[in-house]
Amino acid sequence: MKRIAFFLVAAAFLFQLAVPGQEARKHAQTLESTKIHVVKEGETVDRLAVKYGVPQKDLKQLNDDGDEKINTGDKIIIPDADVPKDKPQTASKKAKPQKTSQKDILQITPKEKELLARLVHAEAKGEPYEGKVAVAAVVLNRVESDKFPDTVEQVIYQKNQFEPVENGMINKPAGEEAKKAVDEAIAKDGKVTKALFFFNPHKIKHSWLYSRPEIKDIGNHRFTL
């Protein structure tokens, strides 16, 4: 990946010349607000994805110049998670958002990230960090599944799915580890586990959840398909 920030600035200048008036100012502001990260020694694409909470492939695609290696001093564009790149920004209210697969770029807003972090904090408090990442991944996997709603918020607030929503613990602030776990789950983009459910077998002795194919146990939680 080569240094591309110069070309970004140049593009903004040329666009202002080519497109007059309010339209140019609107697009120029979008370019000016783009986040640029200067690579420090020892940093990798994977680490940057976790740091900024964006999918690895999104970061790679945006900065792809045929060389996946990044070097100290390189300037990398950080994707804006607020603006979907493969969906129109003004969709009809009646139109159901089209389902995407894990091969597509996951879109999640800062508000949804905060909500997900609060859920992780409430559901996995006291659990190992790996377990927190896995809980976050369950929500993201549900968003990608045709069996569940289409957004993080809709998945979390789906009736009778998560206890913290029912008892109000979802409204408690998230800890830093929960926030980091959410960023990592997003960065790994479907590569944490394929689990769609999790439960504590020490607390739940009889449930249909035992009929689900088991993936693994992490801490006190069992993750299943």
More confident residue, 100 or 44: 44
Q: Report the chain's C-alpha Rg in angstroms.
A: 20
First to last CA, the chain: 37
At 61 the pLDDT is 74
* Percent of the chain whose pLDDT exceeds 90: 48
Report whether pLDDT(158) > 60: yes
* DSSP category for residue 72: T
The answer to whether residues 121 and 174 touch, using CB atoms and an 8 Å cutoff, is yes
Q: In terms of residue numbers, what domain contains 205?
A: 110-224
Summarize pLDDT for 2-52 with one digit per residue, the tens: 444 444 444 444 444 444 444 444 443 344 456 778 888 888 877 787 877
Residues 66 and 126 in one domain: no
Dist. CA 77–CA 34, nearest whole Å: 7
Q: Are 117 and 173 in the same domain?
A: yes
Q: What is the pLDDT of residue 55?
A: 79
Tell which of 63, 78, 93 closes a domain: 78
pLDDT of amino acid 31 = 44
CB atoms within 10 A of CB 165: 19
Q: For the domain that residue 10 is a member of, what is the CATH number?
A: 3.10.350.10
Residue 68 lies in a domain: yes
pLDDT given for residue 105 in this prediction:
55
Q: What number is the average pLDDT over the span 57-77?
A: 73
Closest CA to 201 of 214, 186, 185: 214
Task: Convert the pLDDT of each residue in 125-137 to its tens digit.
Answer: 999 999 999 999 9
Position 26 scores a pLDDT of 40
Q: If pLDDT is split at 50, 70 and 90, which confidence band does 104 have?
A: low
User: What is the number of other CB atoms lying within 10 angstroms of the CB of residue 214?
Assistant: 13
Whether 135 and 217 map to the same domain: the answer is: yes
pLDDT at 213: 94
Does the residue 15 lie in any domain? yes
Domain boundary among the residues 27, 54, 78 is at: 78
User: What is the pTM assigned to this prediction?
Assistant: 0.61
For residue 118, being part of any structural domain is answered with: yes
Q: Assess whether 14 and 114 both reside in one domain.
A: no
Interacting residues of 43 by C-beta distance below 8 A, sequence separation 6+: 70, 72
- Kindly state the tokens that stand for 65: 């110049």
What are the start-end ranges of the H helices in 19-96? Answer: 21-32, 45-52, 56-62
Chain mean pLDDT for the chain:
77
3-state DSSP helix/strand/coil percent for the chain, to nearest 5? 45, 10, 45
- pLDDT value for 134: 97
Mean pLDDT of 160-167: 96
Point out the domain boundary residue: 78, 101, 130. Answer: 78
Those residues with Cβ within 8 angstroms of residue 59's Cβ, 6 or more apart along the chain or in another chain: 45, 48, 49, 52, 76, 78, 79
**DSSP β-ladder status, 221-224 and 197-199:** antiparallel
Q: Quick check: is 63 in a domain? A: yes
